[in-house]
Structure 1
Amino acid sequence: MNDIASDHNAIDLNNPDYYLNRELSLLQFNLRVLEQAMDDNHPLMERLNFLLIFSSNMDEFFEIRVAGLKNKLETHTGEPGPDGLLADEVLTEISRITHEAVDRQYHILNNILLPALREEGVDFLRREDWTREQAEWVKKYFREQIYPVLTPIALDPSHPFPRLVNKSLNFIVPLDGKDAFGRSTGLAIVPAPRSLPRLIRIPDEISADGDDNFVFLSSMIHAHVSDLFPGMKATGCYQFRVTRNADLEVDEEVEDLASALKGQLLSRRYGDEVRLEVADNCPRHLIDYLLEQFELTEHDLYEVNGPVNLARMFTSVNRPRLHYPPFTPKLPALIRKTETVFDAIDQGDILMHHPFESFQPVVNMLAEAARDPKVLAIKQTLYRTGTKSEILDHLETAARNGKEVTAIVELRARFDEESNIEGARRLQEAGAIVVYGVVGYKTHAKMLLVVRRDGDGIKRYAHLGTGNYHTKTTKLYTDYGLMTSDIGICQDVHKIFQELTGMGKAARLKQLKHSPFTLHPSLIEWIEFETEQAMAGKPARIIAKFNSLTEEKIMQALYRASQAGVQIDLIVRGICCLRPGIPGLSENIRVRSIVGRFLEHTRIYHFHHGGDDLVYCSSADWMDRNLFNRVETCFPVNDPVLKAQVLEQGLHFYLRDNSRAWLLQADGNYLKAQPEGDEPVFIAQQELLENLGGGH
C-alpha cells in the first residue's frame, strides 16, 4: 500500500489502494461462515450446518458474482470498482482462494465433523462400511425407489452430450462391452433426478443400537450403476456437478413483467457454465472430456473428496445436545397486556427485535385487520414471503372480506421469483390490487399500512421493518420491526405507497428517508455534520450496522470524518469495501463482522448529532443498488426508551462481542476477536436471547 501523507488535503480519496474489492470481500464473508464449522462452541450438528451453508453461499456466489465477472470479461463491458481491479484479476484471485477453501471444507467434513458425529451415533455410511444386511437393504431400495426414475444417457452420435440442469447431481460412467444394438461407445451420463432425496436414512432395525445411519444417494447409484446397462460392465462411476449463470435478464419495458419473468425462469436452469465440481477419483481423461463439453478451464475445476452437492446434505437427528437449545421468542409487554394489536399500538410505539422477540404480532395485526369491520384498507410491500405464507393467507382473507387490499409484489427478488409470481396470482384471484413496483427499481422496502375507522374519522397504523415478511426467516435472521400509529410516520408511509402505485413527483416526507430520493443525501449530510462537529472540537460519533458497504461517496465521507477525528464503528456482516485503520485516513474507523447462530440482518444508523442521538432503522444497506436503484425506507426510532434500547442492544452489545466478532484489518483480512486477559466471554446474540427471548 502506498505511503500516506500526513497532510489530509494531499490524500487522494480516489486512490484504489484505499478500497477493497466487492467480490473478494463477499468471499471473505463466506470464509467466515466456513470457519464456524471449526468452532466447537457451536453444537456439532450446527457446525455441520455451517459447512453446508458455506456450500449454498458459494453456489450463489458462482451463479451470480463469478458469472457476472465472466460476462464482463467476455463482453469487454463494465468498469472496475473503486479498488481498480479488472474482471480477469478478480477471477484469478477468486480461483486461488476458493480452491484453498474447498479443500479445507472437505478436510473439515471428512477428518473432523464426520468422525465426531460417528462418535455421537450419527453416521454417514460409505459403501465399504455397509454390513451385509445394509447392503441387501440398499439393493432392494435401489431396485424399488431409485432404478425406476433413473434415465441413463449413452453418448454417441445420436445421443450427444445432454444439457444438464444447473447444480444437478450427475454421474459419468465408462462402460465395457456392447449393448443390444451393437453399440460400444464406452461412455454414459446418469443424471440423478431432483425428486430423489440425496440422503436416505437406514431403518433402525439394521442400524447399530440407537444410531442414526444415513446413506448417500450417490453411494447407492454407484453400487448398482451396472444394473442400468444390462450385459455391459460399468468400469467406474464418478459424480460431477456443473454450476451455471443464474442471473435473470428481463426487459423492463415488457407489457407483462410477470409473464416475461416466468418465461425467463427456465433459462436459469440452463445458463452459461461457470464451475465444474467432480469427484477427485475421476480419471483425468474424463475430467478433460467434461471440461471440453462445458467449455471451462482448469481455473473453473474443483476436484472434491466427497459429495459434490453438499448443500443438499441438510438433515436432522433427534439428538438435542447436537443442536442449539430451542427458545421461545417473547411478546412485547404492550401486546401481552391488550386485547388487540391495534389497542396495543394506540398506547405507544412497539419495537420488536427478531428473532429474540416474536414476529407473531405482525401476523396478528394482519389477521385482525382482515376480519375487523373497522378496517377499510391494507397496503403492503412483499419482497420475500415464501410459498406457504400466513401473510398471504391473511391478505387473501382481507380481500375476500371486502377490504381494499393493495400489494406491492417485487417479482425480481432473486431466487424467489417463482414463489412471488404465485403469491401475486393468489392475491389477484382474491380481489386484491397487485402492483409490481416501479420499472427499473426493485421495491425492497418493508412496509405495512392499515387504514381503520376511528370515530368519525380514520386512523392509520404502520409496520416498518428491516427484514422481509417471511415467517420462517424471522426465526433465523436478526431484524427490527416498528409498529406505530404516529401521524407523521403513517402519513409518510401512505405517501410512499401512493408513489409506488401512482405517478408524480417524489413524495415530500416529514420523518422517513427513502431511496432513491432522500436517503443517500441524508446519510452524507449526517456524516458531514459529525465531521464539522469534530473539526470544531465537539463530540462526534457514528455507529452503523448493516449487511454491506460498497457506495463510494459514503466511504469517502467516512474517510473525511475519520480524518477530522470522528470515532466510527461499523458492524458490517458481509461486504465491506472500506479499509479501516490506515494512518492519516481511517485510523478512527473500526469494522467488525458478526457471524453466529442467527444471520445478522438489522440495519441501524446512529449519529451523535450534537447530543440529539439520531437513531434510524432501515431496509437499506450502504450499497449503490440500495441507495440508487431500489425503493427503500429508513425510519426514525423516536421514543426515548426504544431509542436507548436500540443503542444498547442493537449496537453496543455487538461492539462488546468478543467471541463471534471478526475484525477487519487494513489489508482486507479478518481476525477473530478473543477475550483479553480475564475479560469474560460476551456473545451478543446469546445476551439478547437471555435479555429478550423466552429462555431455553
Structure 2
Amino acid sequence: MNRSRPTDSEPAIPAIDPTGRAPLDAGLYSDAASDGDLLRDPSLYFNRELSQLDFNFRVLAQAVDAQVPLLERLRYLCISCTNLDEFFEIRAGTLRHAQDLGLVAGPDGLAPSAVLARIHDRAAELVEAQYACWNDMLRPQLNEAGVRVLGPDSWNQAQTRWLRDYFRDEVMPVLSPLGLDPAHPFPKILNKSLNIVVVLSGRDAFGRDGNLAIVRAPRSLPRIIHIPEEVSGGPTDFVFLSALLSAFVDELFPGMKVEGAYQFRVTRNSELLVDEEEVDNIALALRDELVGRGYLRAVRLEIAEKCPAPIVRTLLDNFDLQENAVYRINGPVNLNRVIQVYDLVSRGDLKFPPFQPRVLPGSDSIFDTVARGDVLLHHPFDAFTPVLELLRQAVDDPNVLAIKQTLYRSGKDSQIVDALVQAARKGKDVTVVVELRARFDEEANLGFADRLQEAGVQVVYGVVGYKTHAKMLLIVRREGRVLRRYVHLGTGNYHAGTARQYTDLGLITAHPDIGNDIHLIFQQLSGLAPQLELKRMLQSPFTLHAGVLQRIQREAAFALAGKPARIVAKMNALNEPRVISALYGASQAGVRIDLIVRGACTLRPGVPGISDNIRVRSIVGRFLEHSRIYWFGNDGAPELFCASADWLERNLLRRVETCFPILDPQLADRTHEEALANYLADNLNAWELQPDGSYVHLTPQDDAEPHSAQACLLAKLCG
C-alpha cells in the first residue's frame, strides 16, 4: 500500500490525436463513428454465449487437478454447476426471447436458434464431465479421506433406521405429494427446485387408479443431511435429500406400488423485464416482478438418467420444452448443493491454507493517511478493512458533513449499510445510489433501500434505462476553512465477503480533480444534470467508450510511426465490436497487445494479418479474477486506469460506470507489476485462447520456473 502526496499540477485528460499527443476534437472517435468502420467479417468474432459457457470447462479443470486440495476441488465443481444454472437462467433465457422476437444475428453471424442448438451440445458435454468428475473422482476420493456422501446402496442398517426416522419425523410432515388426474393438474414447479416424479400402480382409497404423482421438496428442507457420528460411526457422513426422498417415497403412497421414482429439476428464465419508461415507481414494479420470477418460462429440464421416455415427454409438454432442452443426469440433479459439505467439514488438510490479508499501517486517522498520499488496495491480498474504517471514521467525525455512495451488491448484514444508517442518524447528509436491478440481488437491495430510507438517507435508484454499476464513495469533510473531498473508487463491489474471494483494486484518494469529478457524477445521478466535463475520470455511457477507442488508436499511430506501442488490459469479459475492431486495427499497425480476459471473449486472436499481435489469456485460480485494468504504453509515458467496466457493450454503452486513473507513478508501477506483468508471467493457472476458440492450459516450458500470479501475491503481500 504505497502512498505519495497527490499533486494538483497534472493536466486534465485531453482528447487524443492518433498521430501524436496534441489535443484533438473528441468527436472524431466518438460513438457516432460510422458502422462502416467496423471489421464486419463474422469469422473474426466468437459467439459470446458459447465463449461464456466454455469458461466453466476451465473452472471444472480445477476440480480434476490433483494439485488442488480435495474439498477445494469439490468447491470448483459446485461453482461450475452454479455457473451453468445462471447461464441457463440468463443467457439461454435471453436467447430464447430473442428467438421469439426474430432478432438478427450478432457480429459472429449466428442467429439465436443456431446458438441455442450449439449451447445444448456444449452444455451436454459439460454436464457429462461434471458428473464424471463427481462419480469417478471426487466422491470416491472424498470417501477415502473420510468425507462420505452415501447413496442408498451403501447405507448400513443403523444408517437406514436413522434416515427412515428422519424422513418420517422431519421430511414427511412438510411434503404434499400430488397425484395427477383431471382434478389435480400438473402443479407449478418453482425454478431450480428439487422434485420427484413417481410412477404408481394399484388403486387408492377412493378407487382411483395410480398413474403419476409429483413430490416437491419444500425450500425449508436441507438438501444435504448430516448423519450423526454416533449413528454412522464417522463424523463426516452425508446424504442428499434427493436420495432420501427416492428411498422412502413409498411411504407417501400407502396401499399403492411405486414402480419408479425419478428426480427432476426445471430451470427458468430469471431475467426480469421491467419497462422503466412505462412505470411510475421502479421499486414497486420490481417487487411485483419478483413475486413471479420463480415461475417464468422454462429453458432447461434436468431429469434422472433412467427416467422412461414417456415420462420425459410428459414433463416436456408441461414445461413447453423441446427435446433439446433435456439433460439426463447420472446423479443428483442439484449437484451444486453438495457445496454444503465444504462448509460442514472442518478439515484444514483438505482446504487451501488460510491467509491473513495485509492491513494498512497504523494511524489514528485514515483521513490523515490519505491526505499524505493516495492509498492503493489490492484485494484480497490487502484487507478490505481500510474501506470500512474510512466509512466508520466518517460516521464518527464531527467534521464530516456528507457521505455519498453507490451500492450494487453489498451482501446480507452489510457493515457498509449499517454505517450509512448510523451516519444519517447522527445528522450527516447521506445519499446512496442503490441499483435495484443488480441481478439476483434485487430483493436484498429493495430491503436495505427501505432500511436506509427509514433512517433518513436520501436513496436514489439511478437512471432510467442505465444500470448504475460504478463503485464509488465520496466523503465531504470540513478542514479549517475549506471543504475537502475524500474518495474511494473500486473495481469491485462494497461487499466484505467477496473482497476475500475476488481479486479487485481500490483507490482511496483526496486528489482535488478526482474528488470534483466524483462530486459531479453524484450530482448527475441524483439530479438531471447535463453531460459532464470531467477532468480525470472516464464515464460510461459518455466518455469511457470513446476514451478507450482513442487510446487504442493512439497506440496504433505510434506503431505506424515506428515508435514502441503496447496495450495490456485485464477484465472479466470482452465483446464490444468497435473496441475489438480498434484492437484488430492496432494489431495490424504493429501494436503488441496482451489481454487477460477471465470469461467470455469474442475477439479471435492469432488471425494472420489481423490479430497476430494479440494474445488472450484467462486466469483461473484460488480467487475469482475480477479487477479491470487498462494500460497504454503512450510512447514511454504510460497511462494506467482501473474501472468498474468490462469491455462489453452493456458496460460501455448502457450502464453508468467509472474509470479512474492511477496518477501516482509508484502506485501505477505497483499496479502494473502486481496485476498485469505478474499475470502475464503465470504458467500454472493461465489458459491461452487459440484462433479456433479453444483454450490451452499453459505449463512451464524448458527451464522456466513455475509461476502462479495469485500464489506470488499471497507470498509477497500476505506472507
* Shared fold (TM-score, shorter chain, > 0.5): yes
1:429 maps to a residue whose letter is E
Amino acid at match of 2:275: D
Task: Please state whether the residue corresponding to 1:269 is helix, strand or coil.
Answer: helix
Partner of 2:242: 218
The equivalent of 2:71 in structure 1 is 45
Indicate if the aligned counterparts of 1:543 and 1:651 stay in contact, CA closer than 8 A: yes
- The 5 A counterparts of 1:59-74 are 59-74=85-100
With over 3 angstroms needed to count, the CA separation of the structure-2 counterparts of 1:127 and 1:404, relative to structure 1, is same
Q: Which residue is equivalent to 1:574?
A: 599
Q: Give the deviation of 1:504 after TM superposition.
A: 2.3
5+ residue gaps, structure 2:
1-35
Q: Residue 125 of structure 1 aligns with which residue?
A: 150
Q: Does 1:237 align with 2:265?
A: no
- Note the alpha carbon deviations across 1:575-623, whole angstroms, 9 max, x for none: 1110001110110000000011111000000000111110000000001
Aligned 8 A contact 2:485 2:510 in 1: yes
Instruction: Tell me what 2:7 maps to.
Output: none
Deviation at 1:415, TM superposition (A): 0.5
Native 8 Å contact 2:266 2:302 kept in 1: yes
Q: Distance in 1 between matches of 2:305 and 2:561?
A: 63
Please state if 1:208 is matched with 2:236: no
Structure 1 residue 15 and structure 2 residue 41: aligned? Answer: yes
Say yes or no: does 1:643 pair with 2:659.
no
Letter matched to residue 319 of structure 1? R
Residue 251 of structure 2 is matched in structure 1 by 227
- Equivalent residue, structure 2, for 1:248: 272
1:57-106 Cα shifts (integer Å, max 9, x gaps): 01111111111111122221x22111111111111111111111111110
Partners of 2:226 and 2:368 in 1: how far apart?
50
2: CA distance, partners of 1:11 / 1:182: 74
TM-score by length of 2: 0.93
SS at 2:523 equivalent: helix
Q: Identify the residue that residue 111 of structure 1 maps to in structure 2.
A: 136
Amino acid in the other structure paired with 1:18: L
Counting matched residue pairs gives 680
Gaps of 5+ in 1: 1-9
**Per-residue deviation, 1:136:** 0.6
Corresponding residue for residue 31 of structure 2: none
The reply on whether 1:404 has 2:432 as its aligned counterpart is no
Where in structure 2 are the equivalents of 1:327-476 lying within 5 Å?
327-332=355-360, 336-476=361-501
- Do the aligned partners of 1:156 and 1:185 also contact (CA within 8 Å) in 2? no
The normalised TM-score by structure 1 is 0.96
| Greater than 4 Å deviation, 4+ residue runs | none
Q: CA deviation at 1:33?
A: 1.0
Q: How does 1:589-628 map to 2 (within 5 A)?
A: 589-628=614-653
Alpha-carbon shift at residue 510 of structure 1 (Å):
0.4
2:536 to 495, 511, 514: 511
Deviation at 1:11, TM superposition (A): 11
* 1:303 equivalent in alignment to 2:328: yes
Q: Which of residues 248, 258, 282 is equivalent to 2:283?
A: 258
Deviations 1:372-412 (A, max 9, x none): 11110000000001121000000000001101000000000
CA distance in 2, matches of 1:143, 1:12: 65
2:554 maps to 529
Look up the SS of the partner of 2:196 in the other structure. strand
Partner of 1:100: 125
Deviates more, 1:183-192 or 1:300-309: 183-192
Paired with 1:115 and 1:340, the residues of 2 have a C-alpha distance of 54
CA distance in 1, matches of 2:572, 2:227: 41
Which secondary structure does the structure 2 equivalent of 1:532 belong to? helix
What residue identity is the alignment partner of 1:360? T
* 1:100-126 alpha-carbon deviations (Å, 9 max, x no partner): 111111011000110111110001001
Cα contact 2:210–2:256 (8 A) shared by 1: no
Distance 1:597 1:514 in 2: 31
TM superposition shift of 1:678 = 2.2
Q: Select 1:172's aligned residue among 197, 220, 223.
A: 197
Q: Is the 8 A contact 1:387 1:423 kept in 2?
A: no
Q: Of the two structures, which has the highest relative contact order with CA contacts closer than 8 Å and spacing of 6 or more?
A: 2
Alpha-carbon separation, structure 2, partners of 1:439 and 1:649 = 38
Q: Greater CA deviation, 29-38 or 190-199?
A: 29-38
Identity between Structure 1 and Structure 2 (%): 54
Distance of 1:100 and 1:503 partners within structure 2: 50
Aligned to 1:3: none
Provide the rounded CA distance (Å) in 2 between the counterparts of 1:446 and 1:149: 43
Give CA deviations for 1:197-224 in whole Å, capped at 9, x if unaligned: 1111110112234x41001111111121
Cα deviation digits, residues 141-184 of structure 1 (max 9, x gap): 11111111111011011110001000000000011222222212
Are the aligned partners of 2:604 and 2:611 in contact in 1 as well (CA < 8 Å)?
yes
The whole-number CA distance in structure 2 between the counterparts of 1:80 and 1:269 is: 29
* One-letter code aligned to 1:67: G
1:225-282 per-position Cα deviation (integer Å, ceiling 9, x unaligned): 1111122222221100000111000120211111100110122100111100011121
Measured after TM superposition, the shift of residue 12 of structure 1 is: 7.8
Cα offsets for 1:455-492 (capped at 9, x unmatched): 12211100000000011111111000000001111010
Q: Pairwise CA RMSD of aligned residues?
A: 1.2
| Structure 1 Cα separation of the partners of residues 631 and 337 of structure 2 | 40
Report what 2:6 is aligned to. none
